[in-house]
Structures are given as C-alpha cells and as structure tokens.
C-alpha cells in the first residue's frame, strides 16, 4: 500500500513523501522521527487517529469510484463523500486556555490520488496555522 507522509510547521508543508509499505509500521517509524524532533520541556507528544471526510463533485470517473469505494464512499446530494483514515502526530504544541494549538505535526494516511493528497496538505496547513493567523486570514479574505 502507498502511504502519504506530510510534515507541516506553522501553516506550511515542509516535507512530503509517498512510501510503499504497511501503514502501522510506517506510522511507528514516523512516530520515532517525531520523538527525535520533540522537546519534552516545551510541549506534549500526541498521536491521534482520525477519519477525515472528503467531498468530490459528481460525476466521478470509474477509476475514482474504485479508489474511493475503499473508504466508505457514499452520495450526498451532488457530491461523492468518503472518509480517509489518518494519523496526526503533534510534536510541538501548546495549550491556549482549553484549546490545544499545534505548531508542528506529521500526518500519515493512505495515498489515494492527487486530489486527496492536496486536501490532506490543506488540512496539515490549517492544523498548524494557529488560531490568530487563521482568523486574520479569514478577515483578509472577507475584505476581498
């Protein structure tokens, strides 16, 4: 199976690799790498399993159907919806009140296609963007 590994810091994807292998062993290798980068005096080290919902406008090709049907594919209105299982490894983060803000993460997920890769890159960027930056970007977009 092909596995996508992303490393994001402060809203930017710094590293992207697609490797062949079993997700559990690749995940453990990435956790070891995160462990080396982690500063225990500065933050927590967190590994979370998550299912990320993706949406694609219909119609989809036969190839897309074959790829996406492995991930709980269903129809919602004019969209095909499916869920990609992924792991988020946060190795630099801080608590802001009740909320945990991630600055540096790895994302490990099955590689499906270019579309899902781009969506997961956007997810990695948004996870590490930080609340203040995200709000100021939304304000700037609203002014356009």
The share of the chain scoring above pLDDT 90, in percent, equals 88
Determine contact, residues 74/85, Cβ cutoff 8 Å. Answer: no
Which tens digit of pLDDT belongs to each residue from 96-110? 999 999 999 999 999
Which tens digit of pLDDT belongs to each residue from 13-27? 999 999 999 999 999
pTM value is 0.88
Residue 142 has pLDDT above 90, yes or no: no
Q: Which of 139, 141, 132 is nearest to 101 (CA)?
A: 132
Q: Which of 84, 102, 115 is nearest to 1 (CA)?
A: 84
C-alpha 14/C-alpha 91 separation (Å) is 14
């Amino acid at each position: 199976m092909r596995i996508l590994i992303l490393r994001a810091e402060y809203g930017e994807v710094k590293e992207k690799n697609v490797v062949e292998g079993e997700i559990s062993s690749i995940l453990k290798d990435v956790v070891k790498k995160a462990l080396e980068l982690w500063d225990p005096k500065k933050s927590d080290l967190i590994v979370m399993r998550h299912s990320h919902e993706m949406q694609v406008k219909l119609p989809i090709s036969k190839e897309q159907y074959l790829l996406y049907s492995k991930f709980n594919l269903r129809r919602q209105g004019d969209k095909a919806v499916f869920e990609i299982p992924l792991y988020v490894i946060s190795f630099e983060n801080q608590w802001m009140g009740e909320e945990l803000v991630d600055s540096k993460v790895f994302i490990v997920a099955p590689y499906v296609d270019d579309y899902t890769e781009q969506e997961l890159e956007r997810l990695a960027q948004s996870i590490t963007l930080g609340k203040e930056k995200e709000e100021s970007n939304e304000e700037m977009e609203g002014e356009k």
